[in-house]
Amino acid sequence: MITNRGLLTVLQRNTALSTRLQTTVGAQEVEQRDVPLKPFEDIPYPKGLPFVKNMFTFMLNIKTAHHFHTKLRKELGDIYRLRLPGVGNDLVFISNPEDSRTLYSKDGEYPFLPGFEVFGKMRLEGLPHLYPDSPGLLTQGESWSKVRRAVQQDMMRPKSALYYVDELNETAQELCDKLAADLDDNLETVKLNYTLQKFAVDATGLMFIGSHLGVIKGNPDGTKLMAAVSGFLARFQTVAFVPEKVLKLTGIYKEVCDNMETMYNICNKKINVAIEKHKTDGSLKGTVLWKLLERCGAESPIPTIMAVDSLSAGIDTTAHTATFLLYHLAINPEKQEILFNEIDRVLGKNGNMTEAKLEEMKYLKACMQESQRIWPVAIGTSRKTQTNMVLSGYHIPADTVVIRNGILSSNDDKFYPNADKFLPERWIRGCPQHQKVDPYANLPFGHGPRACIGQRFARLELYMVAFKIIQQYRLEYHHEPIDVDFTGIGHPDREVVLKMIKRT
């Protein structure tokens, strides 16, 4: 086994090398076959321009990134790079699950997510009056780890999300009532995604600050918050991968700071109201905010920062994912009917969801998994390598940004036969169509210690949306097929208009 130092020395001497590679997976080491090791410079890349290289190509194709990267993969293979200005700034893209496994296995104690250090710096330097000590989870290293350790137990425990099932029944019903009230003369939805954003604010507020924010019912703060979150997320990829000097020159840096300040101020106002109310009636008891206050102490900034981040991060992601799920059910009526039959069997035509009943809803959960497989709101996840590694036979030095093109592997027929088909059955053990697939081929919430910390809450919200709507309405879609726009995070490329027919 050759050491990293020896490996680099051999590469620098340009001698041929064949070595047995090892990939650490958990506590296991899986030996791979002998392969010739190729230098980083041999990783293929598309043609670019002098000086700017592939930067404009990268930025101009963010909106249709899934099509852009599908084309590059066909031309260049499972691994390729986009060159950016400067030295050592190239982005490496991978789509082979084995490479993803290797990448995550090398995370180390402090996984490094490119771009988060910029957001952390924005908070500490651009908004010091709001974030004097900690930027929360939008940072790296020991600072990130300290916050993650403080909040992980309360955020990732299954019971933490399920605690809210009863109350979310009411919020989901408010969503149904609002959608029904806004239907046009053809019984079609008006501003479906926008209304789902309102639901996400109310649901997240309920779970994280124990407060019914009333956004579905017209609270004006919700409109401002949603606009700020959408503006923030629209710049997320740009901030993550474009040099800070460019961000400041173009005004994007200030724009993002302004949106973060709006998000903080609105959320913090609601949180303070909830805390004051709790002092008189104990209404926060049992909520995530209360648990964080108990764990971190009343003087700690962490509970407020986490509540702010949860409120802001859970709006667009949940709304867009829910829109895609409802769309997939509408264009696959036979699958929608199977889901309705499960709901009717387990809960009846008017029953509410409970923690116990949710355990029985295998098809509901499979529908969500399948929808996210086809259209995840995050095209993939990224890391800055902290050690030398080998991906697809190429030497990848430390400090290289590697992006896992998750949407390519999750839509690959090699891993998911008939990948373009909506087949929830592929996720249900015992079904003839069930498929045992490499888990690294589909990771909609990421993986490892930097996976989405709010994923249990997001899943619950999505289950509640689909359950309530399908229980009461049959969905149809009679317009042009939609696609995903990956500006910011994945969202429908146009307004999704569904016909909602009341079930009798």
3-class DSSP string for 74-137: HHHCCEEEECCCCCCCCEEEECCHHHHHHHHHCCCCCCCCCCHHHHHHHHHHHCCCCCCCCCCC
Residue 28 is predicted with a pLDDT of 33
Counting the structural domains of the chain, the total is 1
Residue 10 is predicted with a pLDDT of 33
pLDDT higher than 90, residue 368: yes
Whether 87 is in a domain gets the answer no
Consult the annotation and say whether 452 binds a ligand: yes
**Contact predicate 259/228, CB 8 Å:** yes
Average pLDDT over residues 328-347: 98
- Distance between terminal CA atoms of the chain? 68
Q: CA 228 to CA 233: how far, in whole Å?
A: 9
Note the Cα 75 to chain centre separation in Å.
Answer: 28
Whether 66 is in a domain gets the answer no
Write out the E strands in 411-465: none
Of the two residues 462 and 89, the one the predictor is more confident about is 462
Torsion of CA 206, 311, 403, 450, to 10 degrees: -60
Residue 6 is predicted with a pLDDT of 39
Residue 26 is predicted with a pLDDT of 35
Residue 35 is predicted with a pLDDT of 60
pLDDT higher than 50, residue 330: yes
DSSP 53: B
For residue 239, name the pLDDT band (cuts at 50, 70, 90).
confident
Query: Using one digit for the tens of pLDDT, what is the confidence trace for 428-437?
Result: 999 999 988 9
Q: CA 297 to CA 274: how far, in whole Å?
A: 16
pLDDT higher than 70, residue 245: yes
CATH code, 306: 1.10.630.10
**Contact predicate 187/477, CB 8 Å:** no
DSSP 480: P
Nearest-CA neighbor of 240 among 159, 76, 120? 120
Q: CA 72 to CA 50: how far, in whole Å?
A: 20
Residue 253 is predicted with a pLDDT of 93
pLDDT higher than 70, residue 251: yes
Average pLDDT over residues 357-386: 96
Residue 34 is predicted with a pLDDT of 58
pLDDT higher than 50, residue 426: yes
Query: Using one digit for the tens of pLDDT, what is the confidence trace for 184-238?
Result: 999 999 999 999 999 999 998 888 877 778 899 988 888 888 889 889 888 887 8
pLDDT higher than 50, residue 286: yes
Amino acid at 498: L
Q: CA 363 to CA 329: how far, in whole Å?
A: 12
**Contact predicate 200/310, CB 8 Å:** no
Nearest-CA neighbor of 228 among 255, 265, 259? 259
Residue 351 is predicted with a pLDDT of 96
Residue 16 is predicted with a pLDDT of 35
pLDDT higher than 90, residue 137: no
Q: CA 130 to CA 307: how far, in whole Å?
A: 14
Average pLDDT over residues 142-169: 85
Mean pLDDT of the chain: 88
Whether 60 is in a domain gets the answer no
**Contact predicate 130/123, CB 8 Å:** yes
Whether 143 is in a domain gets the answer yes
pLDDT higher than 50, residue 328: yes
Of the two residues 388 and 206, the one the predictor is more confident about is 388
Of the two residues 447 and 267, the one the predictor is more confident about is 447
Query: Using one digit for the tens of pLDDT, what is the confidence trace for 270-279?
Result: 888 888 888 8
What per-residue string of b and e applies to 308-329 under the rule 16 or more CB within 10 Å gives b? bbbbbbbbbbbbbbbbbbbbbb
Q: What count of other Cβ atoms lies within 10 Å of the Cβ of residue 413? A: 9
Residue 18: φ, ψ to 5°: -135, 125
Whether 419 is in a domain gets the answer yes
Whether 427 is in a domain gets the answer yes
Residue 175 is predicted with a pLDDT of 97
Query: Using one digit for the tens of pLDDT, what is the confidence trace for 392-414?
Result: 999 999 999 999 999 999 999 99
Of the two residues 138 and 328, the one the predictor is more confident about is 328
The domain containing residue 370 runs over which residues?
116-502
**Contact predicate 489/317, CB 8 Å:** yes
Q: Which residue has the tokens 């400067």?
A: 86
SS (H, E, C) 439-450: HHHCCCCCCHHH
Whether 257 is in a domain gets the answer yes
Q: CA 10 to CA 62: how far, in whole Å?
A: 37
261: left (phi over 0), alpha (psi -120 to 50) or beta: alpha
Query: Using one digit for the tens of pLDDT, what is the confidence trace for 39-88?
Result: 999 999 999 999 899 988 988 999 999 999 999 999 999 999 999 988 88
Residue 243 is predicted with a pLDDT of 80
pLDDT higher than 70, residue 444: yes
Residue 226 is predicted with a pLDDT of 85
Average pLDDT over residues 272-301: 85
pLDDT higher than 70, residue 13: no
CB neighbour class for 231 (10 Å; exposed up to 12, middle 13-18, buried from 19): middle
Whether 212 is in a domain gets the answer yes
Mapped onto helix, strand or coil, the DSSP state of residue 232 is helix
